[in-house]
Amino acid sequence: MSDPVISVEGLTKSYGDFTLGPVDLRIEPGYVVAVVGPNGSGKSTLFRMLMNLVRPDAGEIRLFGMRYPESEVEIKRKIGYVPERSVGHGEMTAAGLGSFVARWYDTWEPALYRDLLGRFGIEPHKRFRELSKGTQRRLSFALALATNAELLLLDEPTEGVDPFARREMLEDISRFVGDGERTVLLATHVIEEVRRLADYVVFLVDGETLGLYEKDALLESWRTLWVDRPPGDSVPGIVEVEEGTPVRIVSDSPAETAYVLRELGTTIVRTAPLDLEEILRHLMRPSKAADGAR
């Protein structure tokens, strides 16, 4: 059995009043895992620790079965990274950055890099600081993708990018994992990206992880039910009740909820799946985090 691509145990990091963790996470190869949470929830801090740019206060990180600092070079040659903000590139051109990054990766694909620059409308000899924010993001993404690494760490890669370029980037990520052997960890707050790409979802709220969920199973386990009367407090699985005619109920255990409602003589008018955006909203509510829900 191969090592997980990412294994994190008891990871914590504190900045003033904010604490990330403890984070426990195990990611097997071949999947896209979305890290979802509001701004300030600790997503970028987690990514920087995975790149050994920030040292954790406690806990252990293993990447490909290896640890920092003894295997740092070997680990980083297996990772393409798009940080939240790219720094230190100001005077370098896209061509120069490509030549620099290529030195570190035996897997570098110059033809792919040229293709990405062309598709994203990036002039090879224009300085990084002269590019718009959206173009800088596209360039950082092109550099990471052209490494052809085993793992992509993408921290809000489409932030500030126009809708057309975003679609192209999502298609590129989908192709990257198409062989089933490469892995993507994607920090995002864009629901479309989670819906289109993610196999699994990790929720981060106020520095706390709320669990690793299989996306398809998550979609199946939440439903909306419309009923002829308000439910009692004894009905299990109810997350939200909206008064009306009929009454709208959101449940994270719909089979159990429906069974008890029928036993109580309540008529279920109809049911429907809950869309992913609303599921994420419920899971990331502070009250759910405080309760340690799911």
Q: How far is CA 27 from the centre of its chain?
A: 12
Helix 94-102 / helix 133-146 crossing angle, nearest 10 deg: 30
Tokens encoding 160 = 């500030």
Distance in angstroms (rounded) separating the CA atoms of residues 190 and 206: 18
Q: In the predicted model, what is the mean pLDDT of residues 112-119?
A: 96
Q: In the predicted model, what is the mean pLDDT of residues 262-270?
A: 95
pLDDT above 70 covers what percent of the chain? 96
pLDDT confidence of residue 52: 96
Q: Please report which confidence band the pLDDT of residue 68 belongs to, taking 50, 70 and 90 as the band edges.
A: very high
Domains along the chain with CATH numbers:
6-215 (3.40.50.300), 223-273 (no CATH)
Q: How far is CA 199 from the centre of its chain?
A: 10
Q: CB count, 10 Å around CB of 45?
A: 24
pLDDT confidence of residue 145: 97
